[in-house]
Amino acid sequence: MSDLDDIDLDPEDFKSSIPLKKVPYGDVFEASRAGDVDRLRYLLDSGVNVNARDQWDSVALYYACLAGHLDAARMLLESGAICSEHTFDGDRCHYAALNLKVRKLLKAFEARPPPLGPLQASLRDTFLACKANSAYLDQLNAQLPTPLFSGNSFNGGLSSNHFPPDVVFYVQGRPIEAHRVILSARSPFFKAKFETDWKDKKEVRFSREKLSYPSLYSLIHFFYSDRLEVSVDDMEDLVKICRVCKCQSLQTLVEKELIHQKYAEYKALKDIDNSQKRFILQGLSLPEQDRLPAALNRILQISLANSSRGQNLESSVDNLVSLVGSMQMSGFEDDLADVCVRVDKRIFHCHQVVLASRSEYFKARLSHMNDFLEGSDLLLGYTLPCLEENDLSMEAFEKMIEYMYTDSLKDIDPDQAEEMFDASSRYLLFPLKRAVADALLPYLEMVPPAELCHWLILSDMYGVSKIREYCLDAMACNFETFAETPEFRAMLLTLPPPSGDSTLRTTAPSAPGAEVHSAEGNLLDDLREKWLEAEAAELDKRDESALLFDRRLEMLMLVAEQEKSDDDAFLFPLSTSSVVMQK
Amino acid sequence: MSGAKKKNFQIEAFKHRVVVDPKYAEKTWKILEHAIHEIYNHNASGLSFEELYRNAYNMVLHKFGEKLYSGLVSTMTSHLEEIAKSIEAAQGSMFLEELNRKWTEHNKALQMIRDILMYMDRTFIPSTHKTPIQTRLRDTLLELVQHERTGDVINRGLMRNTTKMLMDLGPKVYEENFEKPFLEVSVDFYRVESQQYIEHCDCADYLKKAEKRLNEEIERVSHYLDVKSEAENN
């Protein structure tokens, strides 16, 4: 093959002992073919579509498999490259795999659930937690020799995972359960229908024989998960449905693929009959405004605009009612909100399915509406159920729902970070915690030591391991700088003393991934560990180094103790003396 | 929550400032304990989910998780003892019905409590609760199966629920408390019966009878036993 000749002839290869060619300006295909993982990572991070095909009809994964670059293939797979058998691209990758190791890798990823963003994954779970939907999927899985998804796991957690649908479609007598807001967000057709004909319907029956159940199912599944999976035979029906639903960009892509499939016969393996052939499309292949986060963002913006704000809430109920009335007048139906959340002085219009899918707290809360006090908590003249959240500012809540709807977090103010940590732990939104931490890290590089102490305490409290690690690292590496900072010494006093447990105090470095890491323990113990990593002498002298650290810490604490009593005496000379007198 | 105030960083980072009150944990736990009692007495409609959850969250956040957990265990234990007493009091076949009713109630209450304490559940300990089971339950179940084998009609729905309850407590509990003894009893029963048949009937008749029994058994299993037992039973 001429490709291989290319590599051999490259002058760099002759000079370098590293056998791999570097392609600093190559595209994703070249990088995959050359196994240049640095370039590949850069390209993937910059948002290139992993499942795009080049002019030879090949995807990047195909080249990586063909050339046997395991690391590159793995990177592609982790970024969502499709490798399922019975798809055009997947088949070719399996077929082209250089050796058994590559095939094994492909197999391993095939069995995995598709890599989806937190938003897509949680909405997909909600969709599949609906009984009718999971039943169909199970049936599909039973037909195919290899399991498509870990679909069976949904059966077990059905009751806990379940969030009831608000509309059921019957196509050819079979049900699909769905949520209005998701469909409306993704398709102008559904939006219009839900505002008019289907406004109060819980059940919609399609009587047209032509409409195929599998096609509609795959489209609605796509609406939730940004991932289309359809058998090739159903693609023509899908194009028709897309046209009706006004899903322009998806329709174009599927049409293009249809043409492709027509001529693809000779390129694919022959031993599979057509009914099993599938086509998989990741949302990444669509223009950004047609993906799930953008669609939900539009809904969110309308809802936010409708969310009332003002001092009215404080004054009288009459005022509030009139306000609500006026809002209803000005077409607040637009946002399809089905729940209100009252935070601070603002009422937010939200959608139960989004809140429940993203946060188990809200799922539990919404499902217990009738069991607890809140069930009766309807606002006068207000048609929507209303929740109330305390101890949270409306700014933080707005940021939080922005994240819940779109998976993105724009300009977080460091001042806000603490509250966001609080909100994300309280509402069990653990991905949000990581997102805030990521946004915060660049800021931390510039803060003075005193402030870093503050962040350490915070991150320990809220369990933000990334920030916690960062702070501990910074402290261990610049221990003397911190030792001179009064805030650091004061912090030492507020922390629980290092554990006296001798098993924990061993100076031998722990194996990576050992349990010490999983259970975040005592802050000072961890700091000691870090310090030993950074400063300590060779292995046989670690005990001495540790002793040194312990002594240094003890001394600092004494200083802190002294400072504290000095401070107290200075700040509250009267109060201390009064205590003495009382005694 | 103004920016200017926040710029002035304090080492004492606690936003909710609960630590100022040394009796905080005690007070909060009292509220939660009261709530648990109310839930068991079917009075939950007077409680605010948001407030209870927030209280539990704050307790765990401020390192009172251990207190919350041990408090929960002792409260639950006393409730379960109460329930067990009232079940014990029921007689005969009423026993299973009472058990079933109490179990449903208990499940519902537990679900509500779990949701309130969800934060603790997720972050503090992923361990689950264990409920005491009476050996009496097992004996009654086996007795019922015996009755049916000898031709009596029993309430199969009830059986289904009870076995499901055992399954809910974990496959291990189910296995140890019901499946093993059930299989043992079954083996005994059929050994005796097949002996009788062999003595009394000719070969064809014996096979016919055996087949009938086998079908009966499969049907029984599908009605109220867990799928897993099916394979092991026959």
Mean pLDDT of A83-97: 82
Judged against a pLDDT cut of 80, whether residue A222 lies above it is answered with: yes
Residue A6, pLDDT above cutoff 50: no
Q: Is the pLDDT of residue A451 over 50?
A: yes
Mean pLDDT of B19-40: 79
Amino acid A62: pLDDT: 92
What total number of domains does chain A contain?
4
Residue spans of the domains in chain B: they are 15-131, 133-234
Give a yes or no: residue A424 inside a domain: no
CATH code assigned at A354: 3.30.710.10
The long-range contacts involving A256-262, CB below 8 angstroms and separated by at least 24 positions, are: A257/A281, A260/A57, A260/A88, A261/A88, A261/A232, A261/A235
Among B12, B50, B60, the strongest candidate for a mutation testing the A interface, having the largest count of A CBs within 10 A, is B50
C-alpha–C-alpha distance, residues A554 and A548, integer Å: 10
Pick the most confident of A173-187, A324-338, A401-415, B9-23. A173-187
Judgement on whether residues A275 and A329 belong to the same structural domain of the protein: no
Q: Chain A residues with CB inside 8 Å of B53's CB?
A: 361, 365
Q: Is the pLDDT of residue A373 over 80?
A: no
Task: Please indicate whether, in this complex, the C-beta atoms of B61 and A360 are within 8 angstroms of each other.
Answer: no
Residue A247 and residue A302 in one domain: no
Interchain CB distance below 8 Å, A426 and B57: yes
Do residues A228 and A303 share a domain?
Answer: no
For strands A203-206 and A167-171, give the pairing.
parallel
CATH number, domain containing residue A28: 1.25.40.20
Query: What's the residue count for chain B?
Result: 234
Please list every residue in chain B whose beta carbon sits closer than 8 Å to the beta carbon of residue A413.
Answer: 3
Q: For chain B, state the CA radius of gyration.
A: 26
Torsion angle, CA of A163/A164/A170/A173, rounded to 10 degrees? 90
Residues of B within 8 A of A366 (CB-CB) are: none
Q: Do A73 and A194 sit in the same domain of this protein? A: no
Does one domain contain both A61 and A164? no
**How is residue A377 annotated by DSSP?**
-
Is a pLDDT exceeding 70 seen at residue A426? yes
CB pair distance less than 8 Å for B1 and A419: yes
Mean pLDDT of A33-40: 88
Q: Which residues share a beta bridge with A343? A: A346, A389
**Residues of the domain holding A303:** 294-412
A450 vs B contacts (CB less than 8 Å): 9
CB atoms inside a 10 Å sphere around CB B169 = 16
The more confident residue out of A562 and A309 is A562
Choose among B9, B54, B61: nearest Cβ to A454.
B9
Nearest to B53 by CA among A364, A54, A555: A364
| Listed ranges A154-158, A248-252, A549-553, B142-146; the one with the highest mean pLDDT | A248-252
**Would the pLDDT of A314 be above 50?**
no
Nearest to B11 among A391, A425, A491 (CB): A491
Q: How many CA atoms lie within 13 A of A112 on its CB side?
A: 17
Does residue A498 form part of some domain?
A: yes
Asked if residue B101 has pLDDT above 80, the reply is no
CA distance A463 to A447: 21
**Whether pLDDT at A60 is above 50:** yes
Q: A201-205, A387-391, B189-193: which range is least confident on average?
A: B189-193
**Please, which pLDDT band fits residue A81 given cuts at 50, 70 and 90?**
confident
Q: What is the pLDDT of residue A289?
A: 84
- In this structure, the answer to whether residues A169 and A272 fall within a common structural domain is yes
Q: Is residue A165 part of a domain?
A: yes
Q: Are residues A8 and A59 in the same domain?
A: yes
| Residue B204: pLDDT over 70 | no
CB within 8 Å: A428 and B119: yes
Query: What is the reported pLDDT for B216?
Result: 67
Hunting for tokens 């005694």 — which residue is that?
A583
- Chain A and chain B share a number of CB contacts under 8 A equal to 84
Same fold, B15-131 and B133-234: yes
Comparing C-alpha atoms, which of A371, A217, A545, A286 is closest to residue B52? A371
Kindly identify which residue of chain B lies nearest to residue A395, measuring between CA atoms.
B1
Write out chain A residues lying below 8 Å of B50, CB-based.
365, 374, 387-390
Residue A268 CB neighbour total at 10 angstroms: 17
Pick the CATH number of B15-131 from 1.10.240.10, 1.20.1310.10, 3.20.20.190, 1.10.357.10: 1.20.1310.10
Residue A481 has pLDDT above 60, yes or no: yes
Contacts of A18 (CB under 8 A, 6+ apart): none
Q: Which of A239, A271, A287 is the last residue of a domain?
A: A287
Mark yes or no for CB contact A463/B123 under 8 Å. yes
Please answer whether residues A498 and A524 qualify as being in contact, where contact means their C-beta atoms are separated by less than 8 angstroms. Answer: yes
Q: Do residues A388 and A335 share a domain?
A: yes
Q: The complex's ipTM?
A: 0.70
Q: Where are the alpha helices (DSSP H) in A378-445?
A: 394-406, 414-426, 430-444
DSSP character string of A129-175: HSHHHHHHHHHHHHHSSS-SS-TTHHHHTHHHH----SEEEEETTEE
B133 within 8 A of B169, measured Cβ to Cβ: yes
What mean pLDDT comes out for the span B133-146?
A: 44
B191 vs A1 pLDDT, higher one: B191
Say if residue A190 is in the same domain as residue A51: no
Of residues A210 and A40, more confidence is placed in: A40
Nearest to A40 by CA among A13, A67, A14: A67
Q: Which residues of B touch A519 (CB under 8 A)?
A: none
Is the predicted pLDDT of residue A330 greater than 50, yes or no?
Answer: no
Is the pLDDT at B100 greater than 50? The verdict is: yes
Residues in chain A: 583
Arithmetic mean of pLDDT over chain B: 64
Residue among B54, B152, B66, B138 at smallest CA distance from B96:
B138
Average pLDDT, chain A: 75
Residue A428: pLDDT over 50: yes
What is the pLDDT, as a whole number, of residue A521?
65
* Calpha distance B53→B32 (Å, rounded): 9
Q: Which of A102-116, A265-279, A435-449 has the lowest mean pLDDT?
A: A265-279
For the cut 60, the answer to whether the pLDDT of residue B140 exceeds it is no
Q: Is the pLDDT of residue B147 over 50?
A: no
**Residues A360, A321: one domain?**
yes
A59, part of any domain: yes
Picking from A370, A373, A452 by the largest number of B CB atoms within 10 A of its own CB, the best residue to mutate is A373
Inter-chain residue contact A425 with B61, CB threshold 8 Å? yes
Query: What integer is the mean pLDDT of A11-18?
Result: 39
> How far is the CA of A434 from the CAs of A115, A125, A429, B71, B125, in angstroms?
18, 21, 9, 32, 21
Q: Tell me how crowded residue A140 is: count the other CB atoms within 10 A of its CB.
A: 17
- Which of the four CATH numbers 3.30.43.10, 3.40.630.10, 1.20.1310.10, 3.40.50.2300 does domain B133-234 have? 1.20.1310.10
pLDDT above 90: percentage of residues in chain A? 2
Average pLDDT over residues A262-288: 68
In a domain, A440, yes or no: no
Residue A195 has pLDDT above 70, yes or no: yes
Q: Are residues A48 and A134 in the same domain?
A: no
Residue range A105-157, pLDDT digits in tens: 888 887 776 678 888 888 888 888 888 888 888 777 666 544 344 333 333 33
- Range with the largest mean pLDDT of A276-290, A322-336, A352-366, B66-80: A352-366
| Chain B environment of A378 (Cβ under 8 Å) | none
Smallest Cβ distance to A391: which of B9, B11, B54? B54
Q: Name the residue with tokens 């304090």.
A: B10
User: Is the pLDDT confidence value at A445 over 70?
Assistant: yes
CA distance A161 to A128: 9
pLDDT value at residue B217: 65
Nearest to A327 by CA among A342, A345, A306: A306
- Residue A400 and residue A468 in one domain: no
Label residue A456 by pLDDT band (50, 70, 90): confident
**Residue A428 to chain B, least CA–CA distance (Å):** 7
Say yes or no to pLDDT of B1 above 60: no
Q: Specify which residues A59 forms β-bridges with.
A: A53
Q: How far apart are CA A239 and CA A236, in angstroms?
A: 5
Give the C-alpha separation, A113 to B81, whole Å. Answer: 44
Give the tens place of pLDDT for each residue, A519-559: 456 778 788 878 777 776 566 666 777 777 888 888 888 88
Which residues from B are below 8 Å from A163, CB to CB? none
Choose among B7, B51, B112: nearest Cβ to A368: B112
Return the amino acid letter for B75.
T
CB contact under 8 A, A375 and B16: no
CA-nearest residue to B60 within chain A is A461
Query: Which residue of A lies nearest to B108 if distances are taken between CA atoms?
Result: A371
**CA geometry: angle A85, A90, A96, nearest 5 deg:** 110
Alpha-carbon distance of B176 to A311, in angstroms, equals: 63
| pLDDT recorded at residue A321 | 47
Closest CB to A428 among B61, B112, B118: B118
pLDDT at B157 over 80: no
Contacts of A455-461 with CB under 8 Å at 24 or more apart are A456/A491, A456/A523, A457/A491, A457/A494, A457/B11, A457/B13, A458/A418, A458/A421, A458/B13, A459/A421, A460/A520, A460/A523, A461/B13, A461/B14, A461/B61
Chain B interface, best mutation among A371, A398, A420, A456, by max B CB count within 10 A: A371
Q: Find the CB nearest A453 among B7, B11, B14.
A: B11
